[in-house]
Chain A
Amino acid sequence: EIVLTQSPGTLSLSPGERATLSCRASQNVNSNYLTWYQQKPGQAPSLLIFGASLRATGIPDRFSGSGSGTDFTLTISRLEPEDFAVYFCQQYDKSPLFGQGTRLEI
């Protein structure tokens, strides 16, 4: 079974700064099925990036995804106050599996 490891566990930054979040897979992942979600406190996760690099509808262009194989990255170019949340990566191989999440805090 593929394991997704996200790092760092917690990332402390300020508005306006750049955030780089990592998702590493224990074996090669089809990048077509690598997804990022954002979860704000008390809310359900929401779709952010799919196919490793494609923004979901309505997602601002300060969010970008990249990577292939075993290493994937979510980048937020200039943090806005509403971006402070938990971010999960997810892959769909034989079954869906999530990383443990990165908490982005002010």
Chain B
Amino acid sequence: QLLLHESGPGVVKPSETLSLTCTVSGGSLSVGSNYYWVWLRQPPGKGLQWIGTVFDSETTDYNASLQSRVTISLDSPKNQFSLNLASVTATDTAVYYCARLEYRSFVFDLWGQGTLVTVSA
């Protein structure tokens, strides 16, 4: 059974970079299949926002509203993918989820449990 697990600091200072890693266990983070890898977030008590998708080591797609600050990268040998979000402010406080995108139906079919990141001095 494939499992996703987010890890990283729970608190980040304003203007700094938020960095999270998603580790995939119980299977392969295989490139070139119908599955790709995404980051999403959910501010406390609010709705869901897609941050971006990584397709392979060179191909990504980002939410236009975050594009100038976001980098998502893939480390297939380690079965990990990562999120960097630069110049954070309090509005970036959220639960961050990594998930799998099934690319035929465009659904997020597997999710990590999420990790709360608070932006605070």
- Name A residues whose Cβ lies closer than 8 Å to a Cβ of B: 32-33, 35, 37, 43-47, 50-51, 56, 88, 90, 92, 95-101
Query: Is the Cβ of B50 less than 8 Å from the Cβ of A97?
Result: yes
Q: How far is the CA of A35 from the CA of B109 in the complex (A)?
A: 10
Given A44-B111, A95-B61, do A50 and B105 touch, yes or no (CB 8 Å)? yes
In the complex, residue of chain A having the shortest beta-carbon distance to the beta carbon of B99: A44
In the complex, residue of chain A having the shortest beta-carbon distance to the beta carbon of B105: A50
Q: How far is the CA of A51 from the CA of B36 in the complex (A)?
A: 18
Q: How far is the CA of A99 from the CA of B47 in the complex (A)?
A: 7
Query: Is the Cβ of A44 less than 8 Å from the Cβ of B105?
Result: no
Some 20 contacts from A to B, beta carbons below 8 A apart, are A33-B105, A35-B106, A35-B108, A44-B111, A44-B112, A44-B113, A45-B48, A47-B107, A47-B108, A88-B48, A90-B108, A95-B61, A95-B64, A96-B50, A96-B106, A96-B108, A97-B50, A99-B47, A100-B47, A101-B47
Q: How far is the CA of A99 from the CA of B22 in the complex (A)?
A: 25
Question: Which residues of chain B from 9 to 43 have a CB within 8 Å of any chain A CB?
Answer: 38
Choose among A32, A33, A47, A92 the residue that contacts B109 (Cβ–Cβ < 8 A).
A47
Q: How far is the CA of A95 from the CA of B47 in the complex (A)?
A: 16
Choose among A33, A50, A98 the residue that contacts B49 (Cβ–Cβ < 8 A).
A98
Choose among B47, B61, B106 the residue that contacts A33 (Cβ–Cβ < 8 A).
B106
In the complex, residue of chain B having the shortest beta-carbon distance to the beta carbon of A54: B105
